[in-house]
Amino acid sequence: MLIRPTLQLLRPANLVTAVADILAGMCIVSFHWNGFSYLYLIGASVSLYAGGVVFNDYFDRKIDAKERSERPIPSGNVSKEFAFLLGTTLLMIGVAFAFLYSCTSFFVSLLICFFVLLYNYYAKHHIVFGPLVMGFCRGLNLVFGMTSVSEIPELSFYLSILPIVYIAAITLVSQNEVLGGGKSKLRIALFLFGGVFFVQIFLSFRNGNLLTTLPFVLFHISLLFPPLLKSIQEPSPEQIRKTVKMGVLALIVLNVSFAASFGNLVVAILILALLPISLGIAKGFAVT
């Protein structure tokens, strides 16, 4: 049956993090939680993310045949034609949902599609360009949540730099998840993560919400830094994959801190509730 191989292609644990991006973006722009039209944005974000990870496996199918033969396409459980059709359909559904919400959301969804395809087809094989493009995909997803309002405050756009840097760091780490090694990349990632956490603490202080945000930032550090530091000491493929896995899923906590920084503790807790769901799904399906 195609059900489990298809779910493996979609990486369901990762899809939960896309929901967190949208909710955080909505908190940043002080969205008024009236009605349920914002569900279009959530559906669009999940669909775009799902399409992106499917195309990741589609374009990597020849490399995976040598290095990750257990993945759905090289294992023969899913055909490359089916993967291409599925990825295309999901991206189109994402763009359609965005169009139903607003023209601004539609435009951002097109940008996300562009960077997703650019990363999967070309950029991922470049040491610097790959992490940067992947970071743009995630930063745009936060902006996607900000399009929940008709006019986005100019300063809000700059906050998308944090997920860009965060995901760029994870992507940098992931470049060695097959062969291991790359201690210098791991140290650079550690520095980048530290910068993101420092800015979030400063942001919460500036907004007068330090006491409610700091525990979430410290919790995020406690999740991410132990496996990362262990990878620096022992840069084996298995350990690096554990670090990448935690980095991707713990992105949820980055979004929790965004919500708390802007005074929306209720939504922050709601986003945090997504973490055990994502971690639970990750026990049955690969994250990387």
pLDDT at 100: 97
Helix (H) or strand (E) holding 220: helix 210-233
Give the CB-side neighbour count of residue 190, counting CA atoms within 13 A.
Answer: 16
* pLDDT band of 179, cuts 50, 70, 90: confident
- For residue 184, give both structure tokens: 């210098």
Could you give the percent of the chain with pLDDT greater than 70?
Answer: 100
Helix %, strand %, coil % of the chain (to 5)? 75, 0, 25
146 near 108, Cβ under 8 Å? no
CB burial of 195-229 (b: ≥16 within 10 Å; e: otherwise) equals ebbeebbebbeeeebbebbbebbebbbebbbebbe
pLDDT digit string, tens, across residues 80-102: 999 999 999 999 999 999 999 99
* pLDDT band of 58, cuts 50, 70, 90: very high
pLDDT at 181: 77
Q: Which of 64-68, 241-245, 258-262 has the lowest mean pLDDT?
A: 64-68
Q: Which of 20-24, 114-118, 122-126, 184-188 has the lowest mean pLDDT?
A: 122-126
For residues 155 and 79, which has the higher predicted lDDT (pLDDT)?
Answer: 79
pLDDT digit string, tens, across residues 5-36: 899 999 999 999 999 999 999 999 999 888 89
pLDDT at 128: 84
25 near 143, Cβ under 8 Å? yes
* pLDDT band of 198, cuts 50, 70, 90: very high
- How far apart CA 249 and CA 13 sit, in angstroms, is 8
Instruction: Answer yes or no: is pLDDT of 201 > 90.
Output: yes
Instruction: Answer yes or no: is pLDDT of 252 > 90.
Output: yes
- How far apart CA 265 and CA 183 sit, in angstroms, is 37
pLDDT at 11: 94
Helix axes 183-206 and 210-233, enclosed angle (nearest 10): 180
- For residue 63, give both structure tokens: 């490399």
CB count within 10 Å of CB 188 equals 16
- For residue 42, give both structure tokens: 């959530």
DSSP readout, 63-80? HHHHH-TTSTTTTTSS-H
Mean pLDDT for 240-263 is 95
- What does pTM read for this prediction? 0.93
What's the whole-number average pLDDT of the chain? Answer: 94
| Tokens 């980055």 sit on residue | 254
Amino acid, res. 245? K
CB count within 10 Å of CB 66 equals 9
pLDDT at 69: 87
174 near 244, Cβ under 8 Å? yes
250 near 223, Cβ under 8 Å? yes
- For residue 164, give both structure tokens: 């860009």
Residues found in the chain: 288
Which of 81-95, 145-159, 169-183 ranks highest by mean pLDDT?
81-95
pLDDT at 1: 60
The 3-state DSSP class for residue 159 equals: coil
* Burial of 150 from C-beta contacts in 10 A (0-12 / 13-18 / 19+): exposed
